[in-house]
Amino acid sequence: MNQSMSMERYTRIRQLLKMRQPDLTVCLEEVTKAHNVSAVIRTCDAVGVHKVHAVWNEPENLRKCTAMGSDVWVKTQLHNTIQQAIGHFKEQGMQVLVTHLDDNACDFRDIDYTKPTVVLLGQEKTGATPDAIALADHSIIVPMVGMVQSLNVSVAAAIVMYEAQGQRQAAGMYEVQSLDEQECQLTLFKGGFPVLFKECQRRNLPFPYIDEVGHIQADESWWKALQFSKLEG
């Protein structure tokens, strides 16, 4: 049974984890099209977002959208209502932005994204709900000079999140690890040992510690429990 990952893979995952931004995220409010959800999650991975939030009546669809590998690197958290989601963000001290055109909306580039931030993205046809707009701290827009007055939700997400990345990069926020070590260990095990990770989940076994050379540190009883589960299956 494989007890270590390659040093190259370990180093790559560690570098990814060092640049994760746990206080930067998006919240998808009833975004229903799978290709849009997948595109937003890929963008989030690219700019260092560690967890994406969603308010969706059909959570199974969200899991299908993240089933192509991005779920290893970007976690998803579901909320039953937009009120619950925004309450969660404000408890974390995050500024809540909503992409919405109104009289009070500001250019997305005028926002300070070095602050803990969540960007709310509304449903493809109807946009953000009135509750989301009312509860958000700011409405933001991507200025447009053409005849069309709205962008695809995944395109809008990419534009805003890369502005956030640029500001944070200039502030040196990608140079110091912000993600706690417990979360790093979970990602190291899940991304470095996907088969063993799934087996631990199936058997409800504790996740082992991954050392600085990508080796699993676990006692004999853990390995025996894992071997027993493999034989049982």
**Cβ–Cβ under 8 Å, residues 184 and 6:** no
160 annotated ligand binder: no
The closest of 159, 167, 120 to 139, measured between CA atoms, is: 120
Helices (H) and strands (E) in the chain, counts: 10, 9
Residues 154 and 121: beta-carbon distance below 8 Å: no
Question: Contact at 8 Å (CB) between 197 and 188?
Answer: no
| 99 annotated ligand binder | yes
Q: Is 151 annotated as a binding residue?
A: yes
Closest residue by Cα to residue 26 from 163, 181, 157, 176 = 157
Distance between CA atoms of 233 and 231, rounded to whole angstroms? 5
Label the pairing between strands 95-99 and 138-141: parallel
Annotated binding site for S-adenosyl-L-methionine: 99, 142, 151
Annotated binding site: 99, 142, 151
